[in-house]
Amino acid sequence: GQQLNQSPQSMFIQEGEDVSMNCTSSSIFNTWLWYKQDPGEGPVLLIALYKAGELTSNGRLTAQFGITRKDSFLNISASIPSDVGIYFCAGRPRVDTGNQFYFGTGTSLTVIP
Amino acid sequence: EPEVTQTPSHQVTQMGQEVILRCVPISNHLYFYWYRQILGQKVEFLVSFYNNEISEKSEIFDDQFSVERPDGSNFTLKIRSTKLEDSAMYFCASSGGLYSNQPQHFGDGTRLSIL
């Protein structure tokens, strides 16, 4: 199956700092999603991206669909303690009925107050 | 905001027993999915379902697994004879509208523990 490389694997930052994480694939994706997962809960959708080069914001979060269509980036500005969790990227190789999303390995974010 | 609901939240089952995990997708959604997440690992795709049939499945989804939409609201995952390695969180997801590229919304999962 498709491999998504997500980095960094974990981050420890001070409250107020900005955060950047990225996801790369070996093949072209047509859709990129970013999710956040809190312990014991399901992934919650943060941002969805559908076009190469697209830059989308959701509050303090900004994500970009890489121009090569093989990568995506998520930035969090001015981090706060509730940003703690695991962030997953997910990508779909083609737009078609039922085609699966492949998930990255996750970035664990710890925010130190 | 509408959400995907899953029951039970935790299921403990003896190895070899059958288990059925239940999901109620968001009501106007047309595409349904099951994923699993082994503790500490990434989310893995199991199966997608559209128009009352499986549209795609992964190599994890072997003959021990089956899915069903028994009525207009429920979507179930059955594991026929559970193994120890089936222990994981199982997430149901749905996506809506006419276009399959719409994002998937996840339930909070069922934690399956096989003894």
Chains A, B: CB contacts within 8 A come to: 70
Please say if the pLDDT value at position B46 is more than 70.
Answer: yes
- Per DSSP, the three-state class of B9 is coil
With b meaning 16 or more CB within 10 Å and e meaning fewer, what string describes A70-103? ebbbbbbeebeeebebbbbbbbbbeeeebbbbbb
- Per DSSP, the three-state class of B81 is coil
Tokens coding B49: 């379902």
Smallest CA–CA distance, residue A17 to chain B, in Å, is 26
pLDDT class for B79, splitting at 50, 70, 90?
Answer: very high
Give the mean pLDDT of chain B: 90
In angstroms, the CA B74 to CA B27 distance is: 10
Taking only Cα atoms into account, the Rg of chain B, rounded to an integer number of angstroms, comes to 13
CB of B1 within 8 Å of a chain A CB? The answer is no
Phi and psi for A100 in degrees, rounded to 5? Answer: -75, 160
| pLDDT (0 to 100) of residue B101 | 58
Would you call A33 and B48 a contact, using CB atoms and an 8 Å cutoff? Answer: no
pLDDT in tens, B47-59: 989 888 998 889 8
What share of chain B in percent tops pLDDT 70? Answer: 94
Smallest CA–CA distance, residue B106 to chain A, in Å, is 6
In angstroms, the CA A100 to CA B16 distance is: 29
What are the beta bridge partners of residue B90?
A: B36, B110
Which are the contacts of B77, defined by CB distance < 8 A and separation ≥ 6? B20, B21, B23, B34, B46, B47, B65, B66, B67, B90, B92
- Per DSSP, the three-state class of B74 is coil
Would you call B108 and A102 a contact, using CB atoms and an 8 Å cutoff? Answer: no
On chain B, the residues whose CB falls within 8 A of the CB of A90 are 43
pLDDT class for B11, splitting at 50, 70, 90?
Answer: very high
Would you call B58 and A88 a contact, using CB atoms and an 8 Å cutoff? Answer: no
Cis peptide before A8 (omega within 30 of 0): yes
Q: Which 8-state DSSP code applies to residue B72?
A: S
pLDDT in tens, A46-68: 999 989 999 999 999 999 999 99
Which are the contacts of B40, defined by CB distance < 8 A and separation ≥ 6? none
pLDDT in tens, A69-104: 999 999 999 999 999 999 999 988 765 545 678 899
Q: Residue B30: in which H helix or E strand, if any?
A: strand B29-37
| pLDDT (0 to 100) of residue A93 | 79
pLDDT in tens, A15-39: 999 999 999 998 888 889 999 999 8
Polymer length of chain B: 115
Is the pLDDT higher at A28 or at B97? Answer: A28
Would you call B106 and A42 a contact, using CB atoms and an 8 Å cutoff? Answer: yes
Would you call B45 and A102 a contact, using CB atoms and an 8 Å cutoff? Answer: yes
